[in-house]
Amino acid sequence: MRRVVVTGVGMVSPLGSGVEGNWTRLLNSESGIRAIDQFDVSDLPAKIAGLVPKGENDLHRFDADAYVPAKDRRRMDEFIVYGMAAAIQAVEDSGWKPDDDEDRERTGVIIGSGIGGLSNIAGAEDTLVAGGPRKLSPFFIPSSLINLVSGHLSIKYGFKGPNHAVVTACSTGAHAIGDASRIIKYGDADVMIAGGAEAAVCRLGLAGFASARALSTGFNDTPSRGSRPWDKDRDGFVMGEGAGVLVLEEYEHAKARGAKIYGEVLGYGMSGDAYHITAPAEDGNGGFRAMRNALRDAKLDVTAVDYVNAHGTSTPLGDEIELGAVKRLFGDHAYKLSMSSTKSAIGHLLGAAGAVEAIYSLLALRDQVAPPTLNLDNPSDGCDIDLVAHKPKERRIDVAVSNSFGFGGTNASLVLGRAP
């Protein structure tokens, strides 16, 4: 079977634009969660979010003009802009610029979103009600469709290989990476650009998740403390926005062109809960099977794993259920590995979360450091493994597992290894 490595990464998150700046801030235990000020939240119970910092004259702030011209952005929901920016970063980082049709036809794209153009859809409805159908933009539909990140990117670079998008709620980014890796393994492409993008922090998005009682509402006055996985005071997740994109490449192909390699996709596992539309099964069986399947795919024993980047959303039920699944799968080895939730610093990026967290996991492998779980002041009962509270931890990391679970009972786990 063909091996798959990562040769490029790109990221836009509440910690900024660009992978290395993101990583530095994460290891400095900084938070990208703040009070929402770009629209009225006075009547909403949740008033905080992980927001992408924007501006032109700061190295780490997101400058959309650097990636997508203003005239084109008027025809795109912001999730597409974030996805394009992260993808452009990743492609540039990889150095892969195919210049003939054979290579272009062997290069594909899978970039998904959990929700897609929610803000754009809400705005278009207002326009329709106020002005009638003639006031609606002819670009409304293509500006909102989830597969249009993949579409725009393929057009920009001429990538003519497999082109589609994953839509599996909060598992989207991980599923995109896993599916792309299998496309390469099965020989249908040599290079795949894969990841997820999300920009659902709007009144409709916040109100919807708040109605489901999923969001943190108790830390509106101290936003950076709102996302606190495994802490006794956690009261829901904090919405976030951004994108993460990786360039996956067949190993011999990457080696032949002298590409920089971040790490290897060793295994990919999926499962379904078949339990509830928003809650995981109390025994954590879905997450357990996703991790087990990923390790089986990698042909690795549980004792090979050194670090787990948890789904860890800061919800009262989900955090401990995932921890229970980890303990059940890893047994005594659970007390030898480190597990953290980087959502504590950036919030829950929904469809982008799995890709962003896979990148963080690759950097943990590269730099031999487990990133921290912020705000873990008072761990819940039973949280007795190393959850990397507050500060990063230097340690040996040869194999990492990255978990992503989503509404509808969809689960994905990736097993990542150090660069060959």
Q: Which domains does the chain have, with CATH numbers?
A: 4-263 (3.40.47.10), 264-418 (3.40.47.10)
The DSSP 8-state label assigned to residue 231 in this structure reads: B
CA pair distance 268, 295, nearest whole angstrom: 8
Q: What is the pLDDT of residue 57?
A: 62
Q: Is 320 helix (H, G, I), strand (E, B) or coil?
A: helix
d(CA 225, CA 329): 30
For residues 191 and 107, the answer to whether their CB atoms sit within 8 Å is yes
Q: Which has the closest alpha carbon to 307: 384, 394, 243?
A: 394
DSSP single-letter state for residue 239: B
Contact call for residues 355 and 82 (beta carbons, < 8 A)? no
Residue 383 is a catalytic residue: no
- The pLDDT tens digits for 346-389 are 999 999 999 999 999 999 999 999 999 999 999 999 999 999 99
Cβ neighbours, 10 Å, residue 126: 9
Question: What is the dihedral sign for C-alpha 381, 26, 48, 309?
Answer: negative
Nearest C-alpha neighbor of 109 from the set 147, 143, 73: 147
Local confidence band at 4 (pLDDT 50, 70, 90 cut-offs): very high
> Letter for the amino acid at 319?
D
pLDDT in tens, 311-351: 999 999 999 999 999 999 999 999 999 999 999 999 999 99
Mean pLDDT taken over the chain: 98
Average pLDDT over residues 4-30: 98
High-pLDDT (> 70) share of the chain, %? 99
Region 165-185 average pLDDT? 99
Query: Per-residue pLDDT for 224 more than 70?
Result: yes
Q: What is the CA radius of gyration of the chain?
A: 20
Taking residues 245-260, report their average pLDDT: 99
Q: Which residue has the tokens 């357990």?
A: 288
Q: How far apart are CA 246 and CA 361, in angstroms?
A: 12
How many angstroms separate the CA atoms of 103 and 161, rounded?
Answer: 9
Q: State the pLDDT at residue 60.
A: 83
Can you give the pLDDT at residue 1? 85
Which distant-in-sequence residues (6+ apart) come within 8 Å of 124 by Cβ?
A: 136, 137, 140, 144
Tens digits of per-residue pLDDT, 49-98?
999 999 876 768 999 999 999 999 999 999 999 999 999 999 999 999 99
pTM over 0.85: yes
Which helix (H) or strand (E) element contains residue 164? strand 163-164
Beta-bridge mates of residue 231: 379
CA distance 190 to 188: 7
Locate all alpha helices (DSSP H) within 196-263, ordered by sequence. Answer: 203-211, 251-256
| Active-site position among 11, 12, 85, 170 | 170
Q: Are strands 338-340 and 33-35 parallel, antiparallel or unpaired?
A: unpaired
Nearest residue to 13 via CA among 40, 36, 33, 35: 33
User: Does the pLDDT value for residue 37 go beyond 80?
Assistant: yes
